Amino acid sequence: MSISTQEFQTTFEFVLPRGYVDQQGTVHREGTMRLATARDELLPLLDPKVRENEAFLSLVLLARVVTRLGTLPTIDDQVIGGLWATDLAFLQDVYRRVNTEGHTLAEVTCPCGQSFTVDVAGGGLGE
């Protein structure tokens, strides 16, 4: 059984809730995350920062799979570590969704009782 590239999505666009603010004050919100490989999940375990403090694992792992964030030339664990806590939690959720479920869709229920699907990775309010 072969899977065509149209059926198998390997990159996912996202829009951070707040955005990374660089040294010039530019806010970077739009980005791309790719699917993680086994190597992406294993190599961070050898990183000295992670070996010293496991809390760095998420930063190092996300730095490997976030391939674009605004116009930043590179994404590393310093950039990921400089995100607002809400943006880090958002990226962790996107990572979990794309690597366990294969998509960024979530079924939600409105207080009015109506259920619908939203793409948690994209768009601003009202989009």
What is the H or E stretch that residue 82 is in?
A: none
pLDDT on residue 112 = 80
Task: Tell me the H-state helices in 9-84.
Answer: 38-42, 48-52, 57-65, 77-81
pLDDT on residue 100 = 85
Average pLDDT of the residues in 81-108: 85
Residue 122 predicted with pLDDT over 70: no
pLDDT on residue 9 = 81
- Is 55 part of any domain? yes
pLDDT on residue 126 = 40
Q: How far is CA 40 from CA 31, 69, 95, in A?
A: 18, 18, 12
- Is 124 part of any domain? no
Q: Is 3 exposed, middle or buried (CB count within 10 Å of its CB: 0-12, 13-18, 19+)?
A: exposed
- Is 34 part of any domain? yes
Instruction: Specify the range with the lowest mean pLDDT, choosing from 23-32, 86-95, 97-106.
Output: 97-106
Instruction: Specify the range with the lowest mean pLDDT, choosing from 24-38, 43-57, 72-86, 104-118.
Output: 104-118
Residue 25 predicted with pLDDT over 50: yes
What residues make up the domain containing 111? 11-119
- Is 56 part of any domain? yes
Q: Tell me the pLDDT of the chain averaged across its residues.
A: 85
**Whether 104 contacts 14, CB under 8 Å:** yes
Average pLDDT of the residues in 44-59: 92
The residues pairing with 21 across neighbouring beta strands, listed in sequence order, are 27
pLDDT on residue 127 = 40
- Is 1 part of any domain? no
Q: What is the pTM of this model?
A: 0.75
Q: How many separate domains does the chain show?
A: 1
